[in-house]
Structure 1
Amino acid sequence: MTTATSWNITRCERHRDWNRYLGAVCPDPCDDCTSRPVFELDVPMVVQLKTGLRPLSHNDRFHWRAKAKKIRTIRQQVALHARNARIPAAQHITVTLHYQPSGRSVTDAPNLTATSKPAIDGLVDAGIVPDDTDPHVTERMPVIHPGKGDRRLWIEVEIQP
């Protein structure tokens, strides 16, 4: 099932951390508050395990054709989800990949960049940004959310002014 969620994110000197305010502006605004739209899109997990699917990793050793098919799947699905979420075109975005593994599996964040790169390419394919170079895209290190629950992989796309 595809989910696409959007909210505003607010930051200023008084609000030192990024704070989420679903569908609204900061409840305690000050003169320095800035609000930006953020979209959350599911990313497909493409590597089959006995216990389910997991994201693509730099440690995977696939034949080049099998790897290309997995990358194409991620890229096409993210582009489709971005179009369906009606993310507006922008000159600059900030992208963060999030992964919630199930159980006690150990994953290191830098390995997940093998999944975030095709996801960002999918955003370019959807026309969100003109290119995936530094002037248009800031990619944050992937975030891993340990704990019990279903596996989930998603990206947050923050539209920069």
Structure 2
Amino acid sequence: MSTTGVFVLLVAVAAQGLEPPRLVYPRLLEERSADGKMVLHLHDGLTLNLEGVSVAAPRMRILTQENGRPLTQFYNGEDINRDLYQDAEKMATVSLKASGRSVELEGIVGPKQRIHPLPTMERSESGLVPHMIHEIEFNEMSDKVLTFEEE
């Protein structure tokens, strides 16, 4: 039996004239509810309603090269999925680690913004971890459909 899957590959070219990076101190407004959702405040104009998401296979094989030699690494997909959350409405996907109301997150927080923690910067008076939001702008985008067959 053969299963055909379709992947969409998006390739984008970054443009000049981006907005300056924005310093934020994300905090949880509502911790995980019974359905696994949480509310995360980034700044006055951006609050994410996050829910857990699963994108990785149970065991992932990553092929790379190191010094011109092929290198194979295996990862536990459950470890990747454990900290992965999305807000489908705002097109956000982040890896999030929480400790009380303080969080560390990295990923995409909208179609044109990415976020990462600043571990070397001092925390806020209330213990929140500083993060930087960077604008992502695209002046050209192309996509391709890749198919594969599994036996």
TM superposition score category, shorter chain reference: under 0.3
Q: TM-score, normalised by structure 1?
A: 0.22
Q: TM-score, normalised by structure 2?
A: 0.23
Q: Which entry has the higher C-alpha Rg, 1 or 2?
A: 2
Q: Which has the higher contact order (CA 8 A, sep 6+)?
A: 2
Larger helix fraction of residues = 1
Larger strand fraction of residues = 2
